[in-house]
């Protein structure tokens, strides 16, 4: 009889364990139906030391419903932007951003810069980005440049050890990163070390790529 | 209204209930079986009246029972041995754990280092915030520049007014000369007077313009004000300006003197007029100020940024409102969530609209789910 009692309890435990196990395997081996490219299903990067897997939203019927679904905003100032932010500065796309994160940023030789004002950054950003609002480039470049590996002093900058920068903002209708880039070029930052992700948050979101919220905007927690 | 149903947990509960049911049934059956066995044991065996065959069978069964008892005793021994083994294993495990704790000291050090790095990061962030505050200082400077520009505009306006006055005074001089010419003058003087008239005109053109441009004491007051506000700003050559005004004042006195001399037609030596006209000098003054130009360019950039920033405020706020979210808690309904997020349960359809990919059906929300609750 004791044996049977044990058997019942064992049955119980096995059931629970099997259920838990099925849950774990569901999340671990989730089938990627929407990959990033045909050869890249997801991409592993890190945001301030925490690993983040960049993947696309897996529901093929998903649509944007927030403010990034908008077609129109007042122009000026939210106008259609030219392809280049400054002459000599390369314009790049999403795959270049991922590769930049996995290579230059990972190696510490590059920075992915969200050039938007802090509220935008805190609400939602591309994993791996740091926030340097464009106004710092236009008004206090001499304080910012030393943080980017530039040596020397105002008027006599040495850009030999300057980091590679990839700047982005809200998208092709946003002037924040172009302003930052133009201010950098004006200061003498080598154009070859600056890249412009014109698609910005707008295209990142339209592809359903992973974003993070650096400052939680959860309401009603108390 | 929406009720939370959690499909996976329902599955689990069903499994548990089923298992318990099976357990209870089996238990019940077993208890019954044992009761029957006990009853059999209670009745004493009576060997009388049994056939030889039965007796033999009973004897065999008793032997078997003895054997079973011996085997049971053996099993108990084995069980005790296994219990001891388990206790030993547990002891080993405990010892191992203590060892691991000792080995983790370097890990603790690494953690401390990582915390230190975190605080360093926070410090850099504070630095960036401080730099942003610097932008406010720039705004104040731009405002000061704007004030100076207004003062410059006032001076320019004054200059224009004075030029106007110069024109009218110049025509006065012409009238005076004409009236003088019409008077009966000695013929010998006529030629000289004619020649003189040309020179005097030329003289007045430069000299009286200079005088009239600086004319009033009010101008000096204005310039004094500028100087007071500029004591710390070397970009404005106020001292030069003041020196010039002083010179011009003297020139005005001289021009007046000259005018009275003309009235009595006394021929006196005519001072050499200055080569540069006042307009040229003012132009030079304005264009030579490279620093001012740079400051103006900076101001233009600042205003451009400032206008853009105020437009950005609108979409910035919108973005913030769009990214609000709540976590679904045990027992939540859309009504309760709407009450929590908007303070109004009737706004629940807003949550439904904001989460189309999650809420294919408003009755299906599950604990731990994240829902967008835009304002």
State the Cα–Cα distance between residues A95 and A36, nearest whole angstrom. Answer: 9
| Rounded CA separation B190/A191 (Å) | 77
What's residue B94's pLDDT? Answer: 84
Distance CA(B234)–CA(B248), nearest Å, equals 23
Q: Which residues contact A10 (CB under 8 A, 6 or more apart)?
A: none
**Residue B249 DSSP SS3:** helix
- B353 inside 8 A of chain A by CB: yes
CB pairs under 8 A between A and B: 122
Whether B287 shows a pLDDT value over 60: the answer reads no
A78 in B contact zone (CB under 8 Å): yes
* Mean pLDDT, residues B250-269: 54
- C-alpha B58/C-alpha B63 separation (Å) is 9
Q: Please say if the pLDDT value at position B269 is more than 50.
A: no
Are the beta carbons of A52 and A45 closer than 8 angstroms?
yes
**Better-scored residue on pLDDT, A182 or B223:** A182
| pLDDT of res. B6 | 47
pTM metric for this prediction: 0.49
**How far away is chain B from the Cα of A78, in angstroms, using its nearest Cα?**
9
Residue written as token pair 């009450």:
B339
The pLDDT score that the predictor gives to residue A157 is: 94
Sheet strands (E) in chain B: 325-327, 370-372
- Separation between Cα atoms, residue A3 and residue B364, nearest integer Å: 42
Beta-carbon count within 10 A of A217 CB: 17
Q: What are phi and psi of B269, to 5 degrees?
A: -60, 135
**pLDDT in the model for residue B190:** 54
pLDDT of residue B233: 47
CA-to-CA distance for B251 and B167, rounded, in angstroms? 17
Span B339-362, average pLDDT: 83
Alpha-carbon span B158 to B147, nearest angstrom? 17
| Selected residues 4-63 of chain B with any CB under 8 Å from a CB in chain A | 8, 11-12, 15-16, 19, 22-23, 26-27, 30-31, 34
For residue B298, name the pLDDT band (cuts at 50, 70, 90). confident
Chain A, 180 to 199: residues with Cβ < 8 Å from chain B are: none
A1-10, B108-117, B189-198, B303-312: least confident range: B189-198
Q: Which residues does chain B have within 8 Å of residue A124's beta carbon, measured at their own beta carbons? A: 319, 323
- CA-based nearest residue in chain B for residue A63: B357
Residues in chain A predicted with pLDDT less than 70, given as ranges, are: 1-30, 222
Least confident of A74-88, A141-155, B147-161, B331-345: B147-161
- Could you give the ipTM of this predicted complex? 0.77
- Max Cα distance, chain A (Å): 90
Within 107-136 of B, beta carbons closer than 8 Å to A belong to: 121, 124, 128, 131-132, 134-135
């Amino acid at each position: 009889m004791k044996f049977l009692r044990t058997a019942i309890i064992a049955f119980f435990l096995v059931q629970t364990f099997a259920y838990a196990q099925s849950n774990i395997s569901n999340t671990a081996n989730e089938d990627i139906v929407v990959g990033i490219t045909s050869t890249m299903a997801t991409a592993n990067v890190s945001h301030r030391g925490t690993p983040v897997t960049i993947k696309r939203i897996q529901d093929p019927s998903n649509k944007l419903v927030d403010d990034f679904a908008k077609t129109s905003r007042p122009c000026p100032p939210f106008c259609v932007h030219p392809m280049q932010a400054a002459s000599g500065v390369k314009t790049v796309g999403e795959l270049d951003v991922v590769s930049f994160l996995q290579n230059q940023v990972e190696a510490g030789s590059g920075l992915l810069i969200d050039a938007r004002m802090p509220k935008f950054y805190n609400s939602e950003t591309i994993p791996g980005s740091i926030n340097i609002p464009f106004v710092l480039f236009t008004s206090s470049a001499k304080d910012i440049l030393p943080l980017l590996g530039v040596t020397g002093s105002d008027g006599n900058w040495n850009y030999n050890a300057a980091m590679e920068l990839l700047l982005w903002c809200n998208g092709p209708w946003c002037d924040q990163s172009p302003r930052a880039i133009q201010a950098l070029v004006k200061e003498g930052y080598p154009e070859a070390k600056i890249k412009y992700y014109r698609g910005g948050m707008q295209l990142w979101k339209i592809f359903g790529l992973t974003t993070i919220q650096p400052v939680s905007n959860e309401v009603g927690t108390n | 209204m929406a009720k939370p149903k959690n499909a996976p947990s329902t599955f689990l509960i069903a499994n548990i209930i089923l298992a318990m049911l099976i357990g209870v049934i089996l238990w019940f059956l077993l208890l019954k079986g044992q009761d029957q066995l006990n009853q059999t044991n209670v009745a004493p065996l009576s060997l009388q009246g049994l056939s030889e065959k039965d007796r033999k069978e009973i004897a065999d069964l008793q032997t078997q029972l003895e054997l079973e008892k011996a085997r049971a005793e053996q099993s108990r021994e084995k069980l005790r041995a296994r219990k001891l083994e388990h206790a030993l294993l547990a002891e080993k495990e405990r010892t191992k754990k203590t060892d691991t704790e000792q080995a983790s000291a370097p890990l603790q050090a690494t953690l401390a280092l990582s915390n230190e790095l975190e605080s360093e990061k926070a410090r850099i962030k504070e630095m960036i915030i401080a730099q942003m505050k610097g932008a406010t200082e720039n705004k104040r400077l731009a405002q000061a520049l704007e004030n100076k520009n207004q003062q410059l505009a006032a001076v320019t306006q004054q200059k224009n007014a004075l030029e106007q006055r110069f024109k009218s005074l110049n025509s006065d001089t012409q009238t005076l000369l004409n009236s003088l010419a019409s008077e009966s003058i000695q013929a010998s003087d006529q030629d000289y007077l004619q020649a003189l008239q040309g020179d005097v005109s030329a003289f007045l053109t430069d000299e009286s313009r200079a005088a009239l441009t600086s004319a009033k004491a009010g101008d000096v007051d204005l310039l004094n004000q500028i100087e007071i506000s500029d004591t710390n700003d070397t970009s404005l050559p106020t001292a030069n300006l003041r020196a010039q005004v002083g010179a011009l004042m003297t020139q005005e006195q001289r021009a007046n003197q000259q005018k009275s001399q003309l009235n009595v037609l006394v021929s006196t030596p005519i001072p050499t007029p200055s080569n540069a006209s006042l307009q040229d000098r003012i132009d030079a003054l304005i264009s030579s100020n490279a620093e001012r130009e740079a400051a103006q360019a900076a101001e233009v950039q600042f205003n451009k940024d400032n206008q853009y920033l105020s437009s950005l405020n609108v979409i910035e706020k919108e973005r913030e409102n769009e990214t609000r979210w709540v976590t679904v808690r045990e027992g939540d309904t859309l009504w309760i969530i709407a009450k929590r997020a908007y303070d109004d349960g009737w706004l629940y359809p807003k949550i439904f609209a904001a989460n189309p990919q999650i809420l294919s059906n408003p009755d299906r929300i599950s604990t731990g789910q994240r829902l967008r609750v835009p304002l």
